[in-house]
């Protein structure tokens, strides 16, 4: 397991734990508020879940649409903001009976829940994109790719092949991009092996102390 995977896993655990704590406290506030305003029984227990569930559902819809490169429905955005306004307003009203400071303290779980929910969705999207190799890609212009291949071909012909690190620094690209354009194995780049073979099949130099065919004639 790489260091990035450990960090990503620890981040996901921390975010989920924080979101769970915020959701639990937020549920207590909302439950107390609806009980104070005439709701009881199953309605009082389920109504708070519908508010926070709306935020999570709208966020997941946005994640799904973004993953497949589709436009996010306007309804999903509207419902997300309605859920945010509803949960924040309810928490503020619940704490307002204790003054301004009480309102601010009561609003904090809603802020944490909303923020962590969005971060969890974002992290899941980036993690999935990274595994599929479909993350945010920078398209390397064709002329830059040709320049990279030409530089590597020239370095091989000169007997001193450029390393991926050197080419990455020269062309301001990542080493992963360099590997995609010019893999380390000779001949795996289209057109590259033919150039190398053409170079290698040129008339051989005369060895030291020997004459070439023309000289012998």
In a domain, 13, yes or no: yes
Q: Is the Cβ–Cβ distance between 149 and 191 less than 8 Å? A: yes
156 and 126 in one domain? no
89 and 34 in one domain? yes
118 and 29 in one domain? yes
148 and 99 in one domain? no
pTM, full prediction: 0.50
pLDDT tens, 67-106?
776 778 889 889 988 988 988 888 899 888 889 999 999 8
Contacts of 52 by beta carbon, 8 Å cutoff, 6+ apart? 23, 26, 27, 30, 83, 87, 113
Q: How confident is the model at residue 130 (pLDDT cuts 50, 70, 90)?
A: low
Per DSSP, the residues of 3-52 read HHHHHHHHHHHHHHHHHHHHHHHHHHHHHHHHHHTT--HHHHHHHHHHHH
Enclosing domain of residue 183? 142-200
Q: How confident is the model at residue 55 (pLDDT cuts 50, 70, 90)?
A: confident
pLDDT tens, 159-202?
888 888 888 888 888 877 888 888 753 433 444 444 444 444 44
Q: Is the Cβ–Cβ distance between 149 and 192 less than 8 Å? A: yes
Instruction: Assign 2 to helix, strand or coil.
Output: coil
Per DSSP, the residues of 113-177 read HHHHHHHHHHHHHHHHHHHTT-SS-PPPPHHHHHHHHHHHHHHHHTT-PPPHHHHHHHHT--HHH
Q: What is the pLDDT of residue 215?
A: 46
């Amino acid at each position: 397991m790489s260091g990035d995977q450990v960090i990503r896993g620890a981040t996901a655990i921390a975010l989920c734990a924080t979101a769970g704590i915020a959701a639990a406290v937020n549920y207590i506030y909302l439950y107390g508020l609806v009980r104070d305003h005439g709701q009881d029984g199953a309605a009082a227990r389920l109504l708070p879940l519908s508010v926070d569930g709306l935020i999570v559902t709208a966020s997941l819809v946005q994640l799904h649409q973004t993953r497949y490169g589709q436009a996010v429905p306007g309804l999903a955005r509207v419902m997300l903001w309605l859920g945010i306004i509803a949960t924040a307003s309810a928490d503020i009203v619940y704490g307002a009976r204790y003054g301004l400071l009480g309102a601010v303290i009561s609003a904090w779980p809603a802020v944490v829940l909303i923020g962590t929910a969005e971060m969890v969705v974002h992290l899941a999207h980036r993690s999935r994109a990274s595994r599929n190799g479909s993350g945010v890609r920078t398209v390397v212009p064709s002329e830059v790719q040709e320049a990279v291949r030409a530089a590597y071909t020239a370095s091989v012909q000169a007997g001193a092949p450029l390393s991926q690190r050197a080419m990455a620094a020269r062309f301001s690209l990542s080493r992963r991009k360099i590997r995609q354009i010019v893999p380390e194995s000779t001949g795996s780049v289209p057109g590259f092996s033919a150039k190398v073979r053409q170079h290698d099949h040129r008339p051989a130099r005369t060895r030291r102390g020997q004459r070439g065919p023309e000289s012998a004639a």
